[in-house]
Chains A and B, each alone.
Chain A
Amino acid sequence: MKNNIQIKGIKAIIMRELIVFKREKERLISSIISPLLFLFVIGRSLNQDTVIAGQKYQVFIFPGIIAMNILFTSIRYGLYLIWDKRFDFLKEVLVAPISRTSLFLGKALGGVSGAMIEMFIILIIGHFFVVKLGFFQILGVIAVSFLSSFMIVSIGLSIGGVMKTMEGFGLVMSFVTWPMFFFSNALFEIKSASSLIRIISTINPFTYCVDILRKITMNYSVFPVYLSVINLLLWTFILSFITIKIFEKIDIQK
C-alpha cells in the first residue's frame, strides 16, 4: 500500500482543490493584494539605485515579489490541511484505497496549481506595469515557480500535517513565512547585507527561488543558476520525503 501511486485518486484530489480555489475567490484576492502593495508601494517609494546599473528598485524586487506570493500562498495552503483534518474531505481520502504518497502528490499539486494561477496574475500585471518579459522568460518563470511552489507547499503540508489546531497559524507566519521572506534576497541585494543575514540567507532555500527568477527576469544572479537548481531540487526531494512520512502518520481524529 505504501509505494503505490493511484493516478486517478491524485487527479481527484487536485480537482477538489481547483474547485475550492475557483469557489473561494476571497482566498485568491486576499493573497495577491499584499504582493501588489509591496511591488507598487514599496517598489516605487524606495526609488534608489540598485546593484544593477540603470535598473529601478521596483524591477529589482519584481522576481522577489513573485516568489513572495508563491511563498505565502503555498505555506498557507499547507496549513489548510489542519482544517481538512478536522472536518471535511480529508477523512474521506484517508479511508479511500489510495496510498499516502498519492495523497501527498494530490495535495501538493493541488496547492501548486492554485499558487501558479496567482503567480500568473502577478506576472501579467508585472509584465505590463513593471518590466516587459519575452516568451521564454515567461516560460522560465513558470517552470521555476512550479518547482519553488512544490517545495514550499511541502513545507506547509508538513507543518499542517503535524499541527493540531489553527491557533498555531500566527506562530508559523512569524517563525517560518516572514523569516523565509526577509532572510532572503527578495527585497535586497544579498552581497550588501551583514554577514549574519548573508549566512542565514544562503541556507534559506527561498533565496535560490528568488535568485533564479531574478536571473530569468533581469539576467542577474548571485549564485550560478545550476547550483540554485540543484539546491532547489534537493530541497524539494528532501521535503517531499519528510512530508510523505508525516502523512503516513496522520490518523483520523475523533
Chain B
Amino acid sequence: MAIIEIFNLTKKFKDTEALKGITLEIEEGEVFSLLGPNGAGKTTLISILTSILKPTSGTARVNGFDIIKQPLEVRKSIGIVFQEPSLDELLTAYENLYLHSMLYNMPKDKARKRILDMLNTVGLYDRKDHIVRTFSGGMKRRLEIARGLLHTPKVLFLDEPTLGLDPLSRRTIWDYIKKVKKEENTTIILTTHYMEEAESLSDRLSIINKGEIIELDSPENLKKKLGDEILKIKGEIDSEKIKKLNFIKNIVFKDGYFIITSKEITQNLSEILKYVKPKDIEFKKTSLEDVFLNITGKKIEELDEE
C-alpha cells in the first residue's frame, strides 16, 4: 500500500522552477531516498510533503490525507528531522522530548514511558537530564530522530540526516536509522547527497536533479542496469569495435579514460584487450556513484558546485 502518493507536483519560486512535475508513490514500511546534488529540489519536495510549503500546482496525499486540504492531519502522521538542528539548546534532552509530546497531544503517562524508551533506543538515556547545548553533533541528530519518532508517526522525514557529521558519527546514525526501521516499522524518507548513505539505507532510491526524478529503483537494480563491473582504460582504444561486443553495456569517455561497463568483464577481459593498447587500467565493481555518473554525466560534487 502506498503511504505517500504524489501527483504531478510543481513548485515555482520567483525565477526558478524548483520542482517540475513530480509523480511518485512511496510504499508503507520502506526506506526511500532522494539522492541528488544541492538545489535539486529535495528539500523543497520534503517541505511540501510535510505541509510546510504550498505547491504551485499538483498535490500529494500522506497517510491518506491531502497536504493542502488537511495539513493538520498530515502533521499528526509525520515526524521530521530538519537539515539544520531544531532542538532547543537551552533545554535538556528529556525536556525537548516532553514538550514535543505535549505539542502532539500525547497522554502524559504514555508520553513519559515512550520518551524513556526512545532515549534508550538512540543511546541517550544516560544524558537525558543534560542540557542539549553540551551535546555533540551526532548526539543532537540522534535526539532529533528520537523526537521525530516520539509520537509514533507513520512516516519519518530525514532531511540530510548526517550532513556535517564526522564519518564515525555518520555510521552510528545509519545504524540507528536501521534499528528504528526494524523496531518502529515506520516508513522513512530521507534526502542525501552521500552515495554510501543512500546505498546502505534505502530499499528504493530516486535520483533527483533540477527538479525532476530521473531514475527510480532499488540500489541493486540500478547497479545491475548499468552492469555489475566497470573497466577504466587510458590509452588507445577502438571503441566502435568494443561497443559491438554483446556483453558490453556502455562505453563513455571521461577525464582521459574510457569507461566500459559490462555484465561480465572478468570472463571477457581478453576479448576487450584485443582492441586496446592500454597505458593504465582500473577494474572495479559498480558503485552507486558510477550509476549516478552514468545517468547525470557528472559527479554529485560537480553538480553541487553548479
Binding site for B on A (CB under 8 A): 1, 4, 6, 8-9, 11-12, 15-16, 19-20, 23-24, 87-89, 91-99, 251-252, 254
Contact = CB atoms under 8 A, between A and B. Distances in A.
Given A6-B105, A91-B82, A95-B50, 4 more contacts: A1-B72, A8-B103, A20-B90, A87-B89
Contact of B72 (A12, A88, A97, A251): A97
The size class of the interface chain B forms with chain A is: 20 to 34
Given A1-B72, A252-B47, A19 B95 contact: yes
A235 to B, nearest CB: 30
B295 interface: no
A12 B102 contact: yes
A27 B83 CA distance: 30
Interface of B: 43, 47, 50-53, 71-73, 75-76, 80, 82-91, 95, 99-100, 102-105, 147
Contact of B102 (A1, A11, A24, A254): A11
A181 to B, nearest CB: 29
Contacts of A99: 72
A16 B103 CA distance: 11
Given A6-B105, A92-B100, A1 B88 contact: no
Contacts of B72: 1, 4, 97, 99
Contacts of A1: 71-72
A96 B104 contact: yes
B76 A9 contact: no
A19 B91 contact: yes
Contacts of B53: 251
A8 B80 contact: no
B57 to A, nearest CB: 19
11 contacts: A4-B72, A9-B103, A16-B91, A19-B95, A87-B85, A92-B88, A93-B103, A95-B80, A97-B73, A97-B103, A254-B43
A251 B52 contact: yes
Nearest to A11: B102
B156 to A, nearest CB: 13
Contacts of B102: 8-9, 11-12, 15
B86 A92 contact: yes
A96 B90 contact: no
A189 to B, nearest CB: 43
A97 B80 contact: no
Contacts of A94: 52
Closest A-B pairs by Cβ, 8 of them? A12-B102, A91-B86, A96-B103, A97-B75, A89-B88, A1-B72, A88-B88, A12-B99
Nearest to A91: B86
Nearest to B90: A20
B149 to A, nearest CB: 14
